[in-house]
């Protein structure tokens, strides 16, 4: 598979949960508050040969790390509500992204690796980490 096929598959799952990709921003630091709670940033962070397979075939598999970030606004009036919304979104996305029935059409294997919920100055940031194992495409 290719980067584009994997990204499009993940984006499709997120769009199915009413989130939209924001290609204009690299992070939420200077983002418009209208993006909070409904926009996401997706990144392929790294990749390497799947050496954990323990056989010569491992060299044909690529182990990739991906991250998804979604932010919610912060204020004295809505921190608890938005923190709860972030956890609800995380639970839903975790179930969708970690289900082979939803991902096997575009990737060999995808695993939920964890999340981080950070309370920054202006927003609450949810980062979901995924591990993807896919066949290396030789062209």
Going residue by residue through the chain (139 aa), what tens digit of pLDDT does each one get?
Answer: 578 889 999 999 999 999 999 877 888 988 888 889 989 999 998 877 656 656 555 556 778 899 999 999 888 788 888 889 999 999 999 999 999 999 999 988 899 999 999 999 889 999 999 999 887 766 5
pLDDT on residue 22: 84
DSSP state string for the chain: --HHHHHHHHHHHHHTTT-EE-TT-SSSTT--GGGTTTEEEEEEEEEEE-GGG-SGGGGGEEEEEEEEEEEEE--TTTHHHHHHHHHHHHHHHHHHHT-HHHHTTT-SEEEEEEEEEEE-SSEEEEEEEEEEEEEPPP-
Model pTM score: 0.86
Domains in the chain, please, with CATH?
3-135 (3.30.70.1700)
Contact 105, 9 (CB under 8 A): yes
């Amino acid at each position: 598979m290719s980067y584009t096929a994997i990204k499009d598959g993940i984006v499709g799952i997120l769009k199915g949960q009413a989130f939209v990709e924001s290609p204009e921003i690299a992070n939420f630091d200077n983002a418009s508050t209208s993006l909070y709670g409904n926009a996401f940033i997706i990144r392929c962070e790294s990749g390497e040969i799947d050496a954990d397979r323990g056989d010569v075939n491992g060299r044909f598999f690529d182990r990739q790390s991906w991250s998804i970030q979604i932010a919610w606004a912060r204020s004295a009036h809505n921190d608890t509500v938005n923190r709860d919304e972030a956890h609800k979104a995380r639970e839903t996305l975790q179930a969708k992204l970690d289900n082979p029935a939803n991902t096997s059409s575009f990737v060999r294997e995808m695993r939920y690796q964890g999340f981080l919920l950070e309370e920054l100055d202006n927003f609450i940031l949810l980062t979901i980490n995924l591990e993807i194992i896919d066949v290396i495409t030789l062209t």
